[in-house]
Structure 1
């Protein structure tokens, strides 16, 4: 399917990409999954349907769905003062907040009043181990050396924030009484049969894990970068599993959710929020009506990816690479594939000839 629109092998040579996995969604179903290249440079390990990539910040889309599921169960409230639900850590009171309170809604749209400290939220330092989320938020770890606090009036401005999603993770753990990873497994991975998705790396899972690579094609240190703040950046997954997550949102819009997301909450997710017309709940927006586009980008050590959909048309695209090309996704191979496929994604006439099984 992909080959009808773009020569991905040639683009991989041009951009020096080691491995690639692309999933195409049409009519609310996976149309095809196509893989190219190697899981690790210098080996014969070919990328396949079960190859697990680091999704990096696309994790935030998953976290938003978890948060919405918990609002359906009345365990969270989008517009309640965040401190009412927090137990292990509290956001310090600040005069900079004005009349506004930090809420789950403005955390999800990166308009909470939080600004990430410079140089923060790097990959795991093995010698330090995994800190607790409260330790990170208190500024007592190498990942965030400054305590997190409100620095501007919520919803008056936009600041993309990993710290904001760390707060969401702490909130989810406090209201559920268990680890974030366990909650995601129970509420999302199991019902959607996302069997190749995880936040952990064990001897059993590393076999299918894809190594990250620098722009010169060499493997990054440690091969598999880990981020000790899973709600913001910790998801490891496949293009197939990410497609299931995207299709779940589309199904929820039509009252067919498998995990219990209402159509009202699904519409809320893809609606303009706060002070910026292009921010939804855990996603970014472009266009309107049937041509409304939602997206989430992932960029970390050795990996780049993109999740994009036209939810009203039932079409979508997942592109995952195991190479950090050093340029923004839309200026590299991901952008070239997306622009080549956009006419197909937005067409209401091409129904496709095959469906992925």
Structure 2
């Protein structure tokens, strides 16, 4: 309590005490009001969720999804599954083991493999929106010693660069030197190796899925931001979305190891690969719920604008007829008019198989993450049919990496 002095008359003191008491009373009333409002909000949310669940027939869909997943389990599936629609989780579950002794749970972290490309592409589009990177600029504009001309950022995003595969080009080097190269080292090798590796084709000649494209994009993100890829992604993508359990494989944050899974193939736990530290084409570790946040962020244009995302899911390759296409970092399932019906990406890397598949019109997302090599992950035709109420325009059953 304040000490009274001649310069602080009692009447003034009494006035302040009364004010403080009044403030306290009103503050308590506000706290009570706030708690009441929260209860009302919570009740309203539950009521709205119940309405949506009924509208989309969530309980029936969940029962049917369970039947499909049980069938996958008999075929060797080991991992986690989440299906959501209109902001409601219809189905989620964890199966099998994260490692030799620990079971998977809903918080288990999986290597997303090529599903990571969706994050890299969005990071590039965000930098383009900010004017820090130009889609029509070439790699040489940022790396003058890069040995190939005419490779634009756009051509990397939609796999139309014609570049050689880094995995095969430098395979002998990494195995002889026994080092784990970074993205910047890959750029250095391309610039200095003799003879210069031959390109597969001229830029923008045709679509050719190639991890080199996205390894270079991650290197470009580091180059233009001055930050390592993990730091940039945590500060600008994962953090703003609330993806607290997502990391780039090279992170120094030990939290990546909490609930982290191990990759298995043909019954064998796989050791670290020489290319494990290359990111952009792979390298994101994440969880079911973080990926649901990712879907919501894409849908709600939280990270990039609606116009940028529309550009990303626009088909870019038409040399090979069919229903599959590619945009910027996203695989696309198109209709006869070559318009995008579904957006997805698959992944495979050292025992991990992943898929994230969504329908922008019906607002549903299907996520399967597996840490024991099993190609049934990609077979989701039945799940799509369930989410469409028994009807689907899908004409093929396997969405492959």
TM-score by length of 2: 0.71
Q: Map of 1:313-332 to 2, 5 A cutoff?
A: 313-325=362-374, 329=375, 332=376
Q: 1:7 aligns with which of 53, 64, 67?
A: 67
Q: Is the 8 A contact 1:25 1:32 kept in 2?
A: yes
Deviation track 1:269-320 (CA, whole Å, cap 9, x = no partner) reads: 1111244571111011113499711111110111111111112221111100
Q: How does 1:248-267 map to 2 (within 5 A)?
A: 248-252=297-301, 257=302, 259=303, 261-267=304-310
Distance, in Å, in 2 between the alignment partners of 1:5 and 1:173 is: 41
Q: Deviations over 1:149-204 (max 9, x none)?
A: 64422221122111111211121111111111111111111011111111236654
Tell me the residue number matched to 1:242: 291
Aligned-partner SS, 1:230 = coil
SS at match of 1:51: coil
- Inter-partner Cα distance in structure 2 for 1:301 and 1:251: 33
Q: Give ranges in structure 2 of 5+ residues lacking alignment.
A: 1-60, 392-401
SS in 2 for 1:293: strand
Do structure 1's residue 37 and structure 2's residue 92 form an aligned pair? Answer: no
Q: Counterpart of 1:247 in 2: which secondary structure?
A: helix
Aligned mates of 2:146, 2:70 — CA distance in 1:
50
Structure-1 separation of matches of 2:370 and 2:137:
38
The structure 1 residue matched to 2:230, chosen from 178, 181, 198, is: 181
Match of 2:209 among 160, 163, 179: 160
Q: How far off its partner does 1:139 sit?
A: 3.5
Aligned pair count reads 320
Contact 2:354/2:377 (8 A) holds in 1: no
Q: What CA distance in whole angstroms lies between the structure 1 residues aligned with 2:170 and 2:107? A: 28
SS in 2 for 1:119: helix
Aligned mate of 2:313, from 248, 263, 270 = 270
Report deviation, 1:219.
2.3
- Kindly state the Cα deviation for residue 225 of structure 1 after the two structures are TM-superposed: 9.0
**Does 2:282 match 1:214?**
no
1:23 is matched with which residue? 82
* Stretches of structure 1 lacking an aligned partner (at least 5 in a row): 95-100, 350-357
Runs in 1 of length 4+ with deviation above 6 angstroms?
none
Q: CA RMSD in A?
A: 3.2
Query: C-alpha offsets along residues 97-146 of structure 1, whole Å, 9 cap, x if unaligned?
Result: xxxx2111110111012131573588x97x844434232134379xx998
* Residue of structure 2 equivalent to 1:282: 329
**Which structure's CA Rg is the greater one?**
2
* Larger RCO (CA within 8 A; separation ≥ 6): 1
What is residue 344 of structure 1 aligned with on the other side? 386
Secondary structure (helix, strand or coil) at the match of 2:223 reads helix
Give the Cα separation in 2 of the matches to 1:164 and 1:291. 23
1:77 aligned partner: 134
Using the TM superposition, give the Cα deviation of residue 321 of structure 1 relative to its aligned residue in structure 2, in angstroms: 0.6
Q: Which residue of the partner structure matches residue 358 of structure 2?
A: 309
CA distance in 1, matches of 2:328, 2:130: 18
Contact 1:155 1:275 in 2 (8 A): no
